[in-house]
Every structure is written in C-alpha cells, then in structure tokens.
Amino acid sequence: MRVLPHAPSNMTLDAEPAVSRSRPGTSCPVDLSPLPDVAASSGDDVRDAVRRARDAQPGWAARSLREREEAIDALATHLLERSAEIQELIEQELGRPRILSVIAEICAAREYVKQVVRAGRAALAPERIKLSKLDWPGKSAVVEAVPRGVVAIIAPWNYPLANYYKHFFPAVLAGNAVVLKPSEHTPRTGAWFAKQCQEVFPKDLVQVVQGAGDIGAALIDAGVDAVTFTGSVRTGRKVAAHAGERLIPCSVELGGKDAAIVLADCDLDRTAIGVVTWAMQNTGQDCSSIERVYVEESIADAFAARVSAIAKKLRVSTGEGIADIGPVQNEAQLRIVESHVSEAIEKGALLLAGGKRTGKGLGFEPTVLDHCTHAMQVVAEETFGPVLTILRVRDAEHAIEMANDTSYGLNASVWTRDIDRGSALARRLQAGVVYVNNHSIAGAMPEIPWTGVKQTGPGVAASRHAYHTFVRRRTLFVDTNSKPDPIWFPADENLREFGEAIVARGLYGGLGVMFKLLGLLGKRVKAVQALSQST
C-alpha cells in the first residue's frame, strides 16, 4: 500500500498521478491543520476490488427490485443516523461549515431515495413490444433491463458525499456492484461512505479504492463494465477515451461556466439574493455555480449595488461560529481563483466586493466584479470559487448571444417577471438544464435529467434517462406458433408471389390484395412443411 499524497487539482477533479513514496496527507482548508494519511491502493488492490465486486454482483442482481429498493432506503436511513460523523468529516476535508453540509448533502437523503425509486421503476420496467398478429402470428417480444455488472464511480471533491448519490443509487438499484474511487482531496469521506454501504449491502458488493489519476485508469483497466466521472474537461477526455477503447459505457460531467440573464423587469430583491446564493453556494465550488451574470444596462447599477452588498455580508468559515461559506478546498484551486480575479482587475473590471484571502487557512472573500468582458479569464474559464462577474448588455437578445458564447453548457437561467417570455428565452440558451427565476436546484432532484452540452460533456446523471450507463437492453423474443413461418425455405416461385403481394398491400391495400395475400400465405406454409417432411 502507498500513502495518498495531497495532489493539486485544477477543476472539480483533475487528478495528478499518485506517487509511490510516502508524503503528508491533506490538510483542513479552514486552518491548514494536518489530517491523517490515507493508504493509496496498489494495482493489485484495484484488481482485487473489481474481482470481489464481480463475484458479489450476480446474487444481488437476482434479488427483486423491491428488495433492492428497500436496501437503498436502509442506506439512506443509515446515513441520517450517522449525520454527526459525516458532518465533522466533511468539515475537515472540505472546510464547509457543518450546518451547510446538513442542508447540501445529508438531510434529504431518504426523500432523494424515494425519487430515485420512482425514476428507477420507470427505467427498469420491462417494455412489451406491440407486434401485428397478422404479420407476426404467435410471436411476442419484451425488452428487459439487464445490469451491466460492475460500475466504477470516479468522484470529485466538491460534494464529497452527495456526488455519489446520483450514480450510486441508480447503479445498485439496477442490480450492479460498484467500485468507488473518491477524489484524492476527500478520500476519508469516500471511505466513510463505502463503509456505510458495506454495513447495509451484501458482502463485497460495494468496494472502494484510493488514489489519484493512475488509480482511476487502473480501475477502468481492471475490467469494470461501465464508468461515471465528474471532473475537468482534460481528465474527462482521458476517461472517455480509455472507456471507449474497452467499449464500455461512460457518463461524464465536465464542469460549467453557468450564465444568468437578468432582465429589467425582474423582481430585483429576489433576483439579487437568488443569484448570489447560486454563485457563492459551496464557495462557488459547484459545476453549476452562476459565474457570469448578463444584466440589462437599465438596471445594472442597481443590481450591482444589491449583489455586492449581499456578498459583503457573507461570512467565511474560521472553524468557529456560524458561517455562510467555507474556504476554497485546496491551495492550487485558490491560486486559480486569485489569478482570475487579479487578471480581470488588470483588464478593467471593477472590484465591488471581496477580492482577497481572509487571512486564515484557504478562505477567500466572496467577490463581485463589475464591467467584465469575455476577454477576461474569469469570464472565459471555469473559476470554481466564490467569484461573481457582472457583464452589462443592451437587451435580452444581446444577453442570449453573450451567454451562449462559451465552451461549456451545464445550467443557465433567465430572471424576469414575464414567465412566458422568460421560458422562451431560456429555451434558446445552450445548456442541459435551463431555468426561469432559479438556478442549479434541479441537481437535488433525481427525477430530473442532469446533463450538459459542449465541453460539459454528453453524460446524463439522475432520472430514468441516466440508466443507459447502468443497464443494457435485452430483447426476449418468444414464438408460440405451431406452424412454420412463411418466409422460411424453400425459395421458389411461390415465395416470389408472396413477396409481391406484401408489396401490393403496402402500396394499394384493399380487400382484394388481402385475400390474395392470405391465400398465398397458406401455400407458403404448406411448401415449408413439405420441405421439412421430405427429409
């Protein structure tokens, strides 16, 4: 075994290769106090984890859907009963205040599972194919959902517990075994979740491996049957290519640079607090954080004043008392945030709030930048920190054009009192989830597809639409007809006439054609029977 190092990350998850020598483990972002080392997995550990999961999977798949539903509900209860444990662990690894982790990752676990079950029942239900009794007498077909086998979940650090939900619950509900690969930044939370799973599910069904990018690659090489990944574009491309070489399904979500459009007729009070909430939630370390706001010029001054006043009141965690946001999770990510802010100011952005470290740990003040442009990194690239940029636009048409000028496309929103107009504009935004007067919240709803376009990636998480990753479709075809099919051998003149009659039915229809076809049908059956009996 190796010791997992504190490897820098560029985006949601952008793992550098693990090293073979021992190094200190990660530190708490709040005060930089050291955390215990975590043993990184070896290649043999990864292969053994996949083997154990594969051995356990058939027995799990043989259980009824109802039994699997009860198991995931039991796990959700298990998580709630141990809420205090995981709150403390997330605070240590992510720096997020405990009260916020309760809301973001824990309190709704059972309700989340109930919605997963509803979506799962729709996705996993057998589909009976309607066949014509005239054309296909005695025949029936049903399409069934068959579990893939062993699913690898390569997880990010920004929601170190809840990010498992959207892939883990559907995967096991569908009858799969799972191998978890936590981020190297939050390995302890991942190990804790795996332990809770192992206490509820059959032995070996849920495995965990630890490490950086090389362990994720080793996991795919170890023979898993599907993989999900949440993280950076750079790493996501590698994961997708690696999965493609093995011809296994791969679902990837690769970040975002979400835009909000604020129209002049919006409810300014509600819009301001809503935009700031979804910009600063989880310290802006969310693929669906609002990072760009396009505001109509006529209300831009008032909007900028409102959001900057709110941002200045937000408290960054120091480890004591109540706070609104935590620190940035790691030093490498904090340097990206600082670089984006300083470059924007150099290029003419106006700093309205924040803009610097808090002075303790990896805290960074909630930051608002006005008069931003697309020439700035803070607008063009994913910042993944507590930074909101304001861009002033002439009108809604200008806003749509600018909002779509990005390489990402996860969430986007329009804020207006005119719901019909807002809905029409939202449909023109190039994103997987679009909103009117809200943002990001659909990520907590497992019956809604969570997906994106462009470099955000083609993956779908949550809802019945995500199950392609977790099941393959098998068609069961049954023929109860006692007579042979008329299209079987021999190929004779009678078969030609039969084919021409089918063509005539398609072109002209009518009773005459139908009677002729029925007569030829009887002749064909007799011809096939004669060939069979002649042997």
List, for residues 463-513, the tens digit of each pLDDT value: 999 999 999 999 999 999 999 999 999 999 999 999 999 999 999 989 999
Cα(208)–Cα(206) distance, integer angstroms: 7
State whether 274 and 227 are in the same domain. no
3-state secondary structure 344-388: HHHCCCEEEECCCECCCCCCECCEEEECCCCCCHHHHCCCCCCEE
Q: Residue 519's domain spans which residues?
A: 483-533
Asked if 388 contacts 356 with a C-beta cutoff of 8 angstroms, the reply is no
Number of domains in the chain: 3
Q: Are residues 436 and 529 in the same domain?
A: no
Identify the CATH number of the domain in which residue 348 sits. Answer: 3.40.309.10
Query: Does residue 285 lie in a domain region?
Result: yes
Beta strands in 384-498 (DSSP E): 387-393, 411-415, 433-436, 450-451, 460-461, 471-479
DSSP string, 99-152: HHHIIIIITTHHHHHHHHHHHHHHHHS-EEEP--TTTSTTEEEEEEEEE-SEEE
Within a domain: residue 458?
Answer: no
- For the record, the structure tokens of 392 come out as 């002033």
Nearest to 434 by CA among 272, 168, 256: 256
Distance set, CA 437 to CA 16, 266, 307, 308 (Å): 39, 9, 16, 19
266 belongs to the catalytic site: no
* CATH classification at residue 209: 3.40.605.10
Structure letter (DSSP) for residue 468:
T
How far apart CA 115 and CA 502 sit, in angstroms, is 48
The C-alpha atoms of residue 281 and residue 442 are separated, in whole angstroms, by: 14
52 and 185 fall within a common domain: yes
The neighbour count for residue 283, using CB atoms within 10 Å, is 32
> Same domain, yes or no, for 319 and 438?
yes
Digit-coded pLDDT (tens) for 203-257? 999 999 999 999 999 999 999 999 999 999 999 999 999 999 999 999 999 989 9
Distance between CA atoms of residues 370 and 45, nearest Å:
51
**Structural contact between residues 327 and 283, judged by C-beta atoms closer than 8 angstroms:** yes
Spans in the chain with pLDDT lower than 50: 1-24
Provide the b/e sequence for 404-419 (b: ≥16 CB within 10 Å): eebebbbbbbbbbeee
Return the pLDDT at 109.
95
- Considering the domain architecture, whether residues 291 and 404 belong to the same structural domain is answered as yes
* CA–CA dist 127, 143 (Å, integer): 5
299 lies in the same domain as 326: yes
Q: Both 308 and 194 in a single domain?
A: no
User: Do you find a cis peptide bond into 366, omega within 30 degrees of 0?
Assistant: no
**Annotated catalytic residue: which of 287, 291, 296, 365?**
287
Instruction: Judge if 63 and 50 occupy the same domain.
Output: yes
Q: Answer whether residue 291 is part of any domain.
A: yes
What is the reported pLDDT for 246?
96
Q: Which helix (H) or strand (E) holds 153?
A: strand 150-154
Can you say how many angstroms the Cα of residue 35 is from the centroid of all Cα atoms in its chain?
Answer: 29
- Whether 19 is covered by a domain: the verdict is no
31 lies in some domain = no
91, 93, 253, 291: which one is catalytic?
253
CA 257 – CA 141 distance, rounded (Å): 45
Residues 196 and 298 in one domain: no
Q: Rounded to whole angstroms, how far apart are CA atoms 194 and 38?
A: 14
Three-state secondary-structure class, residue 258:
strand
Tokens 């909101």 locate to: 388
Distance CA 432, CA 470 (A): 21
Q: 411 and 324: one domain?
A: yes
Nearest-angstrom CA–CA distance, 176 and 6: 31
Alpha carbon 332 to chain centroid distance?
Answer: 24
Q: Active-site residue 250, yes or no?
A: no
Same domain, 509 and 395: no
Give a yes or no: residue 29 inside a domain: no
| Cβ neighbours for 453, distance < 8 A, ≥ 6 positions apart | 409, 430, 431, 432
509 in any annotated domain: yes
**What CA–CA distance (Å, rounded) separates 372 from 359?**
26
Can you give the pTM of this predicted structure? Answer: 0.92
Strands, sheet with 250-253, edge to edge from the N-terminal-most edge strand: 206-208, 177-181, 150-154, 226-230, 250-253
pLDDT for position 295: 98
Indicate whether 418 belongs to any domain: yes
| 283 and 243 both lie in a single domain | no
